[in-house]
Structure 1
Amino acid sequence: MSIRATTSIKDILWPAVFTACMAWLVWYFPRFIVFAGLANDNLNSGYLGAGPIDFAIMAGAVVALVMGLRHARTTAGEGVIETPIDRLSLFLGRVTMLLVVILVGVMFYEVMLRYIFERPTLWANELSLWMAGFIFLLSGLYSMQQRNHIRIYLLYDVLPRPVQRICDVISTALICVFAFAMIWGSWNEARDKFLRWETFGTAFDPPIPATLKPLVLLVMVLVALQAIANLIADWHKGPESHGVIDEGEVEDMIQTARAQHEQGRHD
């Protein structure tokens, strides 16, 4: 039992440490921009260059990432880890789960203050929006790794395995083309927003544009790499079939519909 408990603690520990370190780094990242000499006048006047504490926390984030990747493991209902990118997607999935918990806590705190104590915050709404953006993007990567993204299997399941492979190649190629188009069309805008550390323009003024715009491009690259890794890992697997129809369940639905129809006629 002690081994199981220790493993569970490690599963939570490293994503939590990584999340805490990245929260600090994201909020104070203008210090690194100033340190690199890439800042504009506004950043130069508002921030000092990165110091020892900032670099120590960056090192902590790297250590947490490495250890988290090393100890990443699947739980019941999750697919197996077959490639290195699977480990990264799974680890970031754990980070996303922690962000969901934090987001719920922030929203609960805001509701309590707003409707019970009548003292709403100036930061909860923007922070919730900011975190929701991170959750939305990172959960897409986790969904791709788990093969849980939206797909229409009606035609795919009846095809022979060689034709299924052709469909997989086409879909993966389309994902890669889309990722390339996103980077090609948005790189300059994302770079500019990042380097000038563009903020949201509210009282709290979080750097939502400066962080989410580059993150969209980064996640698109990771999704494309994950799609390629899925294609390679699934290439020699047998025919895929998704969702066998339960005839009994269908019959129950028909009987229920008929009963509701008859009841409606009598009413």
Structure 2
Amino acid sequence: MAELNEDMPKEPDPGAIAEAGLLGRWIDKGGLLFAAGIVLSMLILLNEVVLRYLFNAPTIWAHETTIFLCGMAFLYGGLYCTARDRHIRVVLIYDSLPPRMRRVFDVVISLICMMASAFFAWASWLMVQKAAFRPDGSFRLERSGSAWDPVFPGLIKVFLLVIMTVMAVQFLILAYNYARGRK
């Protein structure tokens, strides 16, 4: 099987689509940071296995940290797929349309996705209000409640708000560029 893969030509990574604009290119470049987070999670878990089973010295931070890092990468993945136009779509109708109608569909779909992302950003803001602010208005991030007690639950909620807001903006840029016919 390895020989088969070696014979196949390698296509260059296309990156963000042109319609995603400058924001899409930034999002695409940011993907490396979150990919590194997945690798870091693997190294942390490997360290935990060695410490736990070879030295009988488990940590209290490894599991929460890997869940946090993987959660951040998962959230960023939605934004990353948006900038690269790699999200899941039903193409039964879309593929049978002429190019001009596809462009109309691209605009409408992008606007609907922008509204959905904005709605989820608003919903995440409601979560952030509870997770990041005390009733008196002072700032304090929600904590996990474990023995280590990191602020990861509060951080992930703030990150979700940021991602959904940027995703709404990215969909607006896509709709605008699709409507103008810009590549």
Residues 80 and 215 from structure 1, CA distance in 2 versus in 1: closer, same or farther, beyond 3 angstroms?
closer
Question: In the alignment, which residue of structure 1 is the partner of 2:173?
Answer: 229
Aligned 8 A contact 1:179 1:220 in 2? yes
Residues 237 and 158 from structure 1, CA distance in 2 versus in 1: closer, same or farther, beyond 3 angstroms?
farther
Q: Specify which of 56, 60, 64 is matched with residue 122 of structure 1.
A: 60
Structure with more contact order per residue of length (Cα contacts < 8 Å, sep ≥ 6): 2
Aligned positions, number? 164
SS across alignment from 2:126: helix
Aligned 8 A contact 2:15 2:25 in 1? no
1:102, 1:185 → 2: CA distance?
30
Residues 171 and 184 from structure 1, CA distance in 2 versus in 1: closer, same or farther, beyond 3 angstroms?
same
Question: In the alignment, which residue of structure 1 is the partner of 2:12?
Answer: 76
Question: In the alignment, which residue of structure 1 is the partner of 2:3?
Answer: none
Aligned 8 A contact 2:68 2:152 in 1? yes
Question: In the alignment, which residue of structure 1 is the partner of 2:73?
Answer: 135
Runs of 4+ with deviation above 4 angstroms: none
SS across alignment from 2:14: coil
Provide the aligned C-alpha RMSD in A: 2.2
Aligned 8 A contact 1:191 1:214 in 2? no
Q: How many percent identity over aligned positions?
A: 29
Residues 180 and 91 from structure 1, CA distance in 2 versus in 1: closer, same or farther, beyond 3 angstroms?
same
1:134, 1:223 → 2: CA distance?
15
- 1:202 matched to 2:146? The reply is yes
1:81 Cα offset (Å): 6.4
1:91 Cα offset (Å): 2.4
Q: Which runs of structure 2 are paired with 1:170-209 in the superposition (5 Å)?
A: 170-194=108-132, 195-209=139-153
**Aligned AA for 1:98?**
A
Deviates more, 1:209-218 or 1:225-234: 225-234
2:26, 2:159 → 1: CA distance?
15
Normalising by structure 2, we get a TM-score of: 0.79
Instruction: Please list every run of 5 or more consecutive structure 2 residues that lacks an aligned counterpart in the other structure.
Output: 1-10, 133-138
Higher alpha-carbon Rg = 1
Normalising by structure 1, we get a TM-score of: 0.56
Q: Which runs of structure 2 are paired with 1:39-188 in the superposition (5 Å)?
A: 76-79=12-15, 82=18, 83-188=21-126
Question: In the alignment, which residue of structure 1 is the partner of 2:4?
Answer: none
Aligned 8 A contact 2:51 2:57 in 1? yes
Deviates more, 1:100-109 or 1:112-121: 112-121
1:80, 1:87 → 2: CA distance?
6
1:109, 1:201 → 2: CA distance?
23
1:184, 1:86 → 2: CA distance?
22
**Post-superposition CA distance 1:29-80 (Å, at most 9, x none):** xxxxxxxxxxxxxxxxxxxxxxxxxxxxxxxxxxxxxxxxxxxxxx922235
Residues 184 and 141 from structure 1, CA distance in 2 versus in 1: closer, same or farther, beyond 3 angstroms?
closer
1:188 Cα offset (Å): 3.4
1:127 Cα offset (Å): 0.5
